[in-house]
Every structure is written in structure tokens, then in C-alpha cells.
Structure 1
Amino acid sequence: MRPFKLLLVLLSLLSLFSCTIYDNDVEGEADTVYSSTINVRSNDFIAEDDFISVADYGWDNLDEEMVDYGMVLGYLRFEGTTAWQALPFSVPFEHDLVNLRYSFDINNFSLIIEGEVGGNNQANEELFDRDVLRVIAIPSSVIVKGKGIDYRNYNQISELYGIDD
């Protein structure tokens, strides 16, 4: 009877200290992290309405598997600075609050500017003229999951995945 209780205690302790195993369950052998920089120009944007402007940057590294299971990240570096800002983010400008975000689909990455004041599109677009956009696509097979990993921190991600500036 005593060995049974000991076994039960050991199994209970083992279940308390077990680690989580992530199974991406994705077929394919894509294990390359893609990274590109794009020089943003104000004339890249097309006004969708009085509040939103969109710049489409075709990017052939985004296939169905990457879009559905991978991770696509966007960062912006303002002209004349060295710090990368994770997207999405908001910045006050010209009596407006400008939201910069992105969307992506197979073969395309879009940068989206959304202001809260109608008719400010051109001024908002010029705010990002000559800035640098960095897009990183991480296939599901190499996504690192763990405590302390901050995917909004460009420096940490570039070091973790070996991305050169």
C-alpha cells in the first residue's frame, strides 16, 4: 500500500512541474524568417476616405501557410532616429491622433494610417514620409514561445531570430 501512495505523490508532483509543449501541427518545411525594409513615401498612400489612407506593398514572402499560422510583424523607424516602434501605435499630430497599423494577406503587406479628424489625410501621410518600415515574417515552425519574449521589442526579436539591420 505504501509504494502506491508514493507513486501517486510522485505522479502528482510530476504533473505540477511539467512543461507545456507547443505543437504547431502545420505541414511543410518552411523554416526561413523573412525580413525586408521599405522606405515609406507619402505618395505611397491612397486615401480610402476622409480618415484612412493605405499604402500597399506587395510582398511575395507571404503565402497561405505564413498568413494562417505564422507571425507577421511590422516596425517603423522615424527618419533620423535609430529606435524601432512596433506597429500598431498612435501618435498625436496636427490637432489629430494618428493611428498607424498594418494588415497583410497572401503576397501583400499594407500600411494603414487612420486619423480621427476628417480631411487630414495628406498631413498624416507626410508625417511618415522618409521613415523606414521593417516587416518580419516568422513561419510557425520556428516561432519561439516563452515567458519574457516581447514581440513588440524589435531589438529582442532581431537578436532572437538573427535579423541583421
Structure 2
Amino acid sequence: MKNEHKISRLVDGFYNIVKNSSLFWWTLFKNVFVYGVLDALYAMKTSSTLKLKKKQLVSFCWALLVIFTLTSFLLVSQASSFMAVIFLAMLILTSLATIYMYEIVDFVATNDTRQLTYPVVYAQAFLNIWQKIAIKLILIIMGLLLLKINLILFIFVFPKAYQLLSVNTSK
């Protein structure tokens, strides 16, 4: 018989979020960060491996975007407004790419993709981005604020919390 207290359900829910976010980071580091982003997101959602062609290329492009965004952030100074514009553009592009990665994983996890070719999967995920783009960008911004406030909480909570919130807003 399960304990039906609200506090225990809250603690269990928080535990599942931390467990799945830890699984995300473990899979990401196990796959050498650059090539494992899609696998890590999929493992967080279904606890299995993603069988999709060109997933390493997509993960590599996302990792390059993150590296370029961090580099442009480090180059921003008070005197250079041009670098600030480049950083802002890279941040928006990286945020859209992150949303796209989550959409790929969500599409593959919720649909039978054995009959679909990988261009169809990627195209359908791209079309799904635009349904709730404003809410998902707000969630990304909230994640960046959480990163600025508390790194540990960001690492252990944000990946799964974003996935849960973005799935609940898409329906």
C-alpha cells in the first residue's frame, strides 16, 4: 500500500526528476558530450537507447552551437556592442536548437518511427517546434536564470523539469 501523503508524493516526484536528470548527464558524459545529446535526452525520457540515423551529426552541431555561444559570451565586453549582438543571436539559435532536440526525442518516443525515414522524423520535429515556441523559449530563459542562481539545482533538476513542462504545454 502506497503512502498517500502530499509531502511524500512531492518528495517522490522530486526524486524522479533528479534521477532522470542524473541519467541525462551520465548518458551525455558516457557518449563524450559532443555526440550524445540526443541519446541522453532519449534515455531521460524512456531509459533506452535511440535508434535513429544521423543522431551523432545533430548532437555534434548542437555541441558546436553551445561552444560558440559560450565563446561569444566570454568575448562580450562593455565596449563592444557588436559582440553582445552576436552573443544574443547565438543564444537564441542555441535555444531553438535545444528545443528542436527535445522535439526530435519527443516525436520518436511518442510515434512508431520504424516506417518513417530519418528526414521525415527530423522534418516533423521541426514542424512541431512552432506550436508552442513562446512557452518553450520562456522555459529556456527560466533555465538560464536558474543556472545563474544555482548551478547544482540546474544540473539536477532542469533537464527533466524542462521535458516535463514542455510536454505538458504541448498538449
Structures share a fold, TM > 0.5?
no
- In terms of Rg, which structure is larger? 1
Identify the structure with bigger relative contact order (alpha carbons < 8 Å, sequence gap 6+): 1
TM-score, structure 2 as length reference = 0.23
Higher share in strand? 1
